[in-house]
Amino acid sequence: MWLNSRGWTGDSPESRRRAEGARLRSELISLGPTFIKIGQMLSTRVDLLPFEYTEELKELLDRVPPFPTEIAFGIVESELGRSVRDLYATIDSAPIAAARLGQVYRARLRTGEEVVVKVQRPDLESRIDLDMATLRHFAPRLQVSDVLKATDWNGIIDEFAAVLADEIDYVREVENAETFRANFSKWNNIHVPKVFHDLSSRRVITMEYIPGVKVDDHAGLRRMGLAPMDVTERLVQAYLKQLLEDGFFHADPHPGNLRVMPDGRLAFFDFGMAGRISIELQSQLVDAFFHIVEKDWRGLLGAAAELGFLRIDPADQEGLDEIGARLIAQYDGLRIGDLTFKDMSEEVADLLYRYPFQIPPHFTFILRALTTIEGIGSKADPDFNFFLVARPHLPKVIF
């Protein structure tokens, strides 16, 4: 490994960085839930890490071993003030899912409703506090790393801490779900599970059980008489509304948080990660979208500066020209149908890493959501293109 890191084995720089990224991913898994989450957030930060590192971090899965059910039931009883037998008519003895922040049980209420009970992992808040303190201790070393981009790493760590604090507060998650429900109250094809507020708290959520199939279960969708691309297009429409009309969006739309119900409705789950954007930012997003559609790369560069992506003096014409020339050389002549978020991230990763680019904190969630949707669409149709699918729906949102 020592020889390889110095390029003495004959491997290409890209191969070495890919191997280093894989080692980083393994280390984060071994360090536990907090670091898995941080790795997932860093997977979109091509402004901070080499592209090969971010690609490896995208393989991080939100799956960890379950903790004992007796501990989970103890948390439920402590939070809700009654025994599990009194709270639920029945509840499974084993979780149906376990993730880095909690696990989920099937249950039935005494009124007959089928529900799921989401229980937070024990001592999670104190573990996260300790992990963040450890990261802050190492922040000065990150500043002088040969691999990581020089940036305000204390600020980045503060950003991670704020995201995690929001995500482990189930009261806030319920509030986010209710906001989302209100925003889509007139959309008959979008559903948010009912939350039972009297059976929910800061560490427990009881919500309606939703049957159905995941958005990427194409065989299941076809058995329901649904075309996978139709479902994906509805997802794109829903995100255009969230980003450009509501200013509030679900920030983690991976297939586990989306389900197509037997009646065809698209259900959204898990609102621990949600983003808010201002009216000004919405307007700037529309401008950037049209710059991309029209292949106006110099206009896009100006929009990037306005959005906070580009840390460069607007008077530095030479610097702007150099970056603009790289963009034009890379993309001029391509059809809009040839552009994808993944390819753009890969192709401009070197630009983001070498030049004074940064991804503003409020944009991390947006990019994560859009690249995730693009991944879902590409699985449904290898020729899926977010810009082409979104373009005909855009006027309905902004006018």
Whether the predicted pLDDT of 137 surpasses 70: yes
Q: Judge whether 394 lies within some domain.
A: yes
* Lowest mean pLDDT, pick from 23-32, 265-274, 362-371: 362-371
Q: What average pLDDT does range 241-247 have in this prediction? A: 92
The yes-or-no answer on residue 252 being catalytic is yes
Whether the predicted pLDDT of 58 surpasses 60: yes
Q: Judge whether 88 lies within some domain.
A: no
Q: Judge whether 236 lies within some domain.
A: yes
Q: Confidence class of residue 165 from pLDDT cuts 50, 70 and 90?
A: confident
Q: Judge whether 330 lies within some domain.
A: yes
How confident is the model at residue 390, as a pLDDT?
83
Q: Judge whether 230 lies within some domain.
A: yes
Q: Which domain holds residue 260?
A: 212-399
How confident is the model at residue 209, as a pLDDT?
97
Distance of CA 183 to the CA centre of its chain: 20
Q: Judge whether 205 lies within some domain.
A: no
Q: Judge whether 181 lies within some domain.
A: no
Q: What average pLDDT does range 72-87 have in this prediction? A: 97
Whether the predicted pLDDT of 384 surpasses 70: yes
Whether the predicted pLDDT of 149 surpasses 80: no
How confident is the model at residue 1, as a pLDDT?
42
How confident is the model at residue 336, as a pLDDT?
47
Based on the structure, what is the number of domains in the chain? 1
Residue with the larger pLDDT of the pair 5 and 395? 395
How confident is the model at residue 6, as a pLDDT?
47
Q: Judge whether 28 lies within some domain.
A: no
Catalytic residue among 92, 252, 296, 332: 252
How confident is the model at residue 187, as a pLDDT?
96
Q: What average pLDDT does range 109-130 have in this prediction? A: 94
Q: What average pLDDT does range 174-200 have in this prediction? A: 97
Q: Confidence class of residue 3 from pLDDT cuts 50, 70 and 90?
A: very low
